[in-house]
A and B are shown apart, each in its own frame.
Chain A
Amino acid sequence: MSTLELNLHPILPDAEEQMLRETVYAITSSYGQAYTRSLREEDRPPTELWDELAGKGYMGVNIPEEYGGGGLGMLALSAVGEELAAAGCPLLLIVVSPAIAGSILTKHGTEEQKERWLRGIGDGTTKLAFGITEPDAGTNSHNLSTSLKPSEDGGYLLTGQKTYISGVEDADAVLVVARGRNDDGSLGLPSLVIVDVDAPGFTRQEIPMAVKGADKQWTLFFENVEVEEERLIGGFNGGLGPIFDGLNPERIMGAAISTGVGRRALDQGAQYAREREVWGKPIATHQGVAHPLAESKIELELARLMTRKAASLYDAGAKGAGEASNMAKYAAAEAGISCVDNAIQAHGGNGFALEYGLTDMYWGVRVARTAPVSREMVLNYVAEHSLGLPKSY
């Protein structure tokens, strides 16, 4: 099918999407940024917020209706992600659980796996974290060394280490990327396994992070963790295709969250600039203050548009979804950083006081330049795939 024949979503939200956005924003605002901060202080997950949104069907909007979701694709889930972030509660679990694990299970899960896992993701009662990054394999996933070895009783044994894995404290299980251990001891192709967080042999350690979001990051240790056949998505050594189908949703959500945070920071920056008087008139009357905010606004709207394009192409199963998702992630990370940075600048010293909340947002958007895929790797991708330049890694 040529892209011209596709019936893609309009570039502006329709009435339903507007109501969805309004509702998610309103519910989340009743919690707000103070809630996110209190979670860290009280060392607990965002259960109330997640459950309230899930109870109304908003945490599985992208999952097919037959599995209890909303059947509205990544366009709707990215709207949920953006509104959550704009209302002060960016959640990384919405990236890994419904977007990555949900998309993979929808396309590659067996009927039993869909019943067991996808149904819960659809109604938000099951949460899956996603673990691919290893200490020696972040950008370069060819170096993955977590292994999955067939055991005598027909199952498998998982051994290895993952790092920077988000939201494990609030997840039921982790979707782990491992490589099959061949008979000769060498490592084969990727396999994708679902491992319960309390499986024997699976331990974890929290990584103290500057990012003060609702989700924590962990290093995970697997030592001969028993995995049954039915926990493999795509079968032994059959994980590559499924993994690829999780990457674009991950990028789209990364982009959506960055634009949501950017929106929040920019609104706050503009309001502050309208009200703060330093020379007997609002500082926004100085173009030195107004123009950077205006530039950020333009970057932000461009990034939102690209995120919409990426989600629409992904939902249509169209070619170009990969390119658009990478570009959206790139543009949104840069726009988000620019919005927060310029909002901080407009706030003067107040930009650094915890009271104004901008420092919380800063690390949140700054991460997006590195994760889930770094700025450099997006540029590598675009250079090679969009421009036909030589592969540079």
Chain B
Amino acid sequence: MKICVLVKEVPDAAVEKRMDSNSMRLDRSGEKNLNPFDTHAIEAAMQIKEGGAVDVEEVVAVTMGPESAVRALHKAVSLGADRSVHLTDDALADSDVSATGYALAQVLKSESPDLVLLGQQSDDGECYTIGAVVADHLEMPSLTQVIKIDTAADKLTCERQAEYGYDTVEVTLPAVISVGDAINEPRYPSLKAIMGAKKKQLDSKGTGDVEIDASKVGADGSRTRVLAINPPPAKQAGEIIEDEDTNETVEKIVAWLDERKLIA
């Protein structure tokens, strides 16, 4: 089995997110890091590989992003991926979700994986959608919010976190699966893995290398246009109930909920 994991470089969690009012895009100029949600996808791939139920030949980390995204790939291989692919091209800048999904699908086609894993969301765009877009282009089944994967030769049994409870779904391979962060506790890289990261194969590809139709990507190829950006409306200050006497506090909370007809 061959597993491709989609990983994204995002602004570091410690950096406060800010919109650039000129470009109307997220300001991505500060410190960047591997999308934390994607470390769960890499860990899931490693657990399938190490689990022994199926034979995994390789785990390949794939990203689309500017030059700096190489760091996210180094981190991905330090967490266990065997090699990585970097799709990078000026023509791709300013791609929206559907253009990004199309471009990533083209890279994946050139790799022909049996399983594509990705994080549930990016820490910056937070669209939760790339998995579905990629699966559509690859004509593969897509599952989201998966928090448990049982592996057999040509199919997976997955548990999805649904709004009420859990779905158990069987899916035949090849498939695209986005994992929830409850699926595992990602490992920390060892010193050896960090020092060895730059030695693992990293292929840099442009749009021409994976037959991307340039008219379908970049600002012009994107079908969304950002017309305006506005800050979210300020939230009303909540009401804090100090817990002095727990019985009294519970009564106050129940009264508050009751007033708003939130409990029967």
Which segment, of A20-28, A309-317, A327-335, faces chain B?
A20-28
Is A298 part of the binding interface, using a Cβ–Cβ cutoff of 8 Å? no
Contact B189 A19, beta carbon cutoff 8 Å: yes
Contact B71 A56, beta carbon cutoff 8 Å: no
Contacts of B33 in A (CB 8 A): 22
Please measure, in the bound complex, the distance between the C-alpha atom of A57 and the C-alpha atom of B75, giving whole angstroms.
17
Is A58 part of the binding interface, using a Cβ–Cβ cutoff of 8 Å? yes
Contact A19 B188, beta carbon cutoff 8 Å: no
Select A70's contact among B75, B188, B195, beta carbons within 8 Å.
B195
Indicate with 1 or 0, residue by residue over A61-79, a CB within 8 angstroms of chain B CB atoms: 1000000001010000000
Contact A56 B74, beta carbon cutoff 8 Å: no
Is A15 part of the binding interface, using a Cβ–Cβ cutoff of 8 Å? yes
What does DSSP make chain B's interface, helix, strand, loop or mixed? helix
Classify chain A's interface size: 10 to 19
Select A15's contact among B74, B189, B191, beta carbons within 8 Å.
B74
Contacts of B74 in A (CB 8 A): 15, 19
Contacts of B189 in A (CB 8 A): 19, 23, 56
Is B78 part of the binding interface, using a Cβ–Cβ cutoff of 8 Å? yes
Contact A23 B188, beta carbon cutoff 8 Å: yes
Contacts of A23 in B (CB 8 A): 188-189, 194
Q: Separation in Å of the A154 CB from the closest CB of chain B? A: 41
Contact A56 B190, beta carbon cutoff 8 Å: yes
Contact B71 A70, beta carbon cutoff 8 Å: no
Contacts of B194 in A (CB 8 A): 16, 19-20, 23
Contacts of A61 in B (CB 8 A): 191
Indicate with 1 or 0, residue by residue over B98-109, a CB within 8 angstroms of chain A CB atoms: 000000000000
Q: Which of A31-81 contact B (CB under 8 A)?
A: 55-58, 61, 70, 72
Contact A19 B78, beta carbon cutoff 8 Å: yes
Is B192 part of the binding interface, using a Cβ–Cβ cutoff of 8 Å? yes
Please measure, in the bound complex, the distance between the C-alpha atom of A19 and the C-alpha atom of B78, giving whole angstroms.
9
Residue of B nearest to A19 (CB): B194
Contacts of B192 in A (CB 8 A): 57, 70
Contacts of A22 in B (CB 8 A): 33
Contact A16 B195, beta carbon cutoff 8 Å: yes
Please measure, in the bound complex, the distance between the C-alpha atom of A27 and the C-alpha atom of B33, giving whole angstroms.
17
Residue of A nearest to B12 (CB): A22
Contacts of A16 in B (CB 8 A): 194-195, 197-198
Please measure, in the bound complex, the distance between the C-alpha atom of A58 and the C-alpha atom of B192, giving whole angstroms.
9
Contacts of A20 in B (CB 8 A): 191, 194
Contacts of B190 in A (CB 8 A): 55-57
Please measure, in the bound complex, the distance between the C-alpha atom of A282 and the C-alpha atom of B194, giving whole angstroms.
41
Please measure, in the bound complex, the distance between the C-alpha atom of A56 and the C-alpha atom of B78, giving whole angstroms.
12
Please measure, in the bound complex, the distance between the C-alpha atom of A27 and the C-alpha atom of B194, giving whole angstroms.
15
Select A27's contact among B78, B188, B198, beta carbons within 8 Å.
B188
Please measure, in the bound complex, the distance between the C-alpha atom of A263 and the C-alpha atom of B74, giving whole angstroms.
27
Contact B78 A26, beta carbon cutoff 8 Å: no
Q: Separation in Å of the B184 CB from the closest CB of chain A? A: 15
Residue of B nearest to A52 (CB): B188
Residue of B nearest to A17 (CB): B194
Please measure, in the bound complex, the distance between the C-alpha atom of A72 and the C-alpha atom of B195, giving whole angstroms.
10
Q: Which of B162-212 contact A (CB under 8 A)?
A: 188-192, 194-195, 197-198
Contacts of A56 in B (CB 8 A): 188-191
Residue of B nearest to A26 (CB): B188
Q: Separation in Å of the A267 CB from the closest CB of chain B? A: 10
Listed from nearest, the 8 A-B pairs whose CB atoms lie closest are A57-B191, A56-B190, A19-B194, A70-B191, A23-B188, A57-B190, A27-B188, A16-B194
A-B contact pairs, 21 of them (CB 8 A): A15-B74, A15-B198, A16-B194, A16-B198, A19-B194, A20-B191, A20-B194, A23-B188, A23-B189, A23-B194, A56-B188, A56-B189, A56-B190, A56-B191, A57-B191, A58-B191, A61-B191, A70-B191, A70-B192, A70-B195, A72-B195
16 new A-B contacts at CB < 8 Å, known A55-B190, A70-B191: A15-B71, A15-B198, A16-B194, A16-B197, A19-B75, A19-B197, A20-B191, A22-B33, A26-B188, A56-B188, A56-B190, A56-B191, A57-B192, A61-B191, A70-B192, A72-B191
